[in-house]
Amino acid sequence: MDSYAKQWLQFAFPLYLWVVIIVIIQLCRRYGKISRLMGSHAVPVLSTLFLLSYTKLVRTIVTVLHTREVTLHCTNESVRLVSLWYEDPNVEYAKGKHAGLFGFALLVTVFFVIPYTLFLLLNPLYEKYLSNFKLLNRLWNHFKPIIDAYSGPMKDEYRFWPGLLIVARIPVLLSVTLADSFIQSQHFLLSMLSTVLAIVLSLGYCFGGVYRKRMNNVLEVWFLLNLCIMAFLSVALNEDSKILIWYNTCLSVFIVTFVLIFVYHLHLQLSHMKYYDALIKKLFKKKDEDDDPLLDITEPYLTVDEQRRAMVPSSTDYFRRESVV
């Protein structure tokens, strides 16, 4: 498979997932059985797919629009400058079969990448000013569930934070995609990543936490800090073996944290089911029964005479009680 076909596949797969989820959402609106089966998760799933495919689409667009200039010296001593596609120098840039790919990349940029970025970054302004116009307010109500899926966990004054994180990805994506042609130093890429992460961490600290729940703030700082440590160590260390050790260590931390988050959310989802709740109670009850000792060995052993004296008080005990009275 050549580079031309690969770039088409990079566009096709996210669009295929979008179409599937959009069809499911429309079916949920028409048929109650499908709506009850899917619950209220269709729109958040679509929003998550938009966010996950954003990075892939931007990188694919940059790859498609990337060009190289080649100077041809002809036999008649004339010089001709030819634009070729960087991924495949055998394909002329924006001509022939590359013209369709070039045009589709521009369409995705104009109708998805730019509106999606501005939509997330400036949604507090849209929500504040578009609500004053009746026609625009109806249009906004169609997109509001998507915005709530992103900005719901944020405080009201920081609902722009998802858009800011999207914008922070762009310089890193451009640096990684154009590294082979314009940027030859790997340290520059890592420095760019470290700078972006440091800026995001600093802004989050200055805002005093952008999420309503403190745990979400802790998790975001935890992931960004680990990523920042990976970038800094890759710049500071020169030996590949040490870099690989630290990289695997930080990656293991990411994976363990992700697994814990997944298990926690799975527990929250299953806790609403009766059989799961009954199973948990049964396990804890069995554990409590196992912890209870049948015989307390800490108590001293009493003989038969000592047990009888404890049951029947002696005359001295009567005397002491009467004297107290």
- What single letter denotes the amino acid at residue 249? T
pLDDT the model gives residue 31: 78
Beta-ladder partners of 79: 73
Tabulate helix, strand, coil % of the chain (nearest 5). 75, 5, 20
**Residue spans per domain, the chain:** 1-65+106-169, 185-289
- Name the residue with higher pLDDT: 61 or 181: 61
Q: By percentage, how much of the chain surpasses pLDDT 90?
A: 9
Question: Is the distance from CB of 21 to CB of 46 less than 8 angstroms?
Answer: yes
**292: exposed, middle or buried (C-beta count within 10 Å: 0-12, 13-18, 19+)?**
exposed
Tens of pLDDT, residues 185-231? 566 666 677 777 777 877 877 778 888 888 888 888 888 888 777 77
- What single letter denotes the amino acid at residue 257? T
pLDDT the model gives residue 165: 87
The DSSP secondary-structure symbol of 211 reads: B
- Name the residue with higher pLDDT: 287 or 227: 227
Q: Is 208 left (phi over 0), alpha (psi -120 to 50) or beta?
A: left
- What single letter denotes the amino acid at residue 66? H
Q: Tell me the pLDDT band of 297, cut-offs 50, 70 and 90.
A: very low
Tens of pLDDT, residues 229-246? 777 777 677 677 877 888
Beta-ladder partners of 252: none
Q: Tell me the pLDDT band of 107, cut-offs 50, 70 and 90.
A: very high
Statement: residue 306 has pLDDT above 80: no
Tell me the CA distances in angstroms from 203 to 161, 210, 213, 221, one per residue in order: 10, 9, 17, 11
pLDDT the model gives residue 37: 67
Question: Is the distance from CB of 143 to CB of 116 less than 8 angstroms?
Answer: no
Taking the C-alpha atoms of residue 135 and residue 142, their distance in angstroms, rounded to an integer, is 12
Tens of pLDDT, residues 136-173? 777 777 788 888 888 888 888 888 888 888 888 888 77
Q: By percentage, how much of the chain surpasses pLDDT 70?
A: 80
pLDDT the model gives residue 295: 44
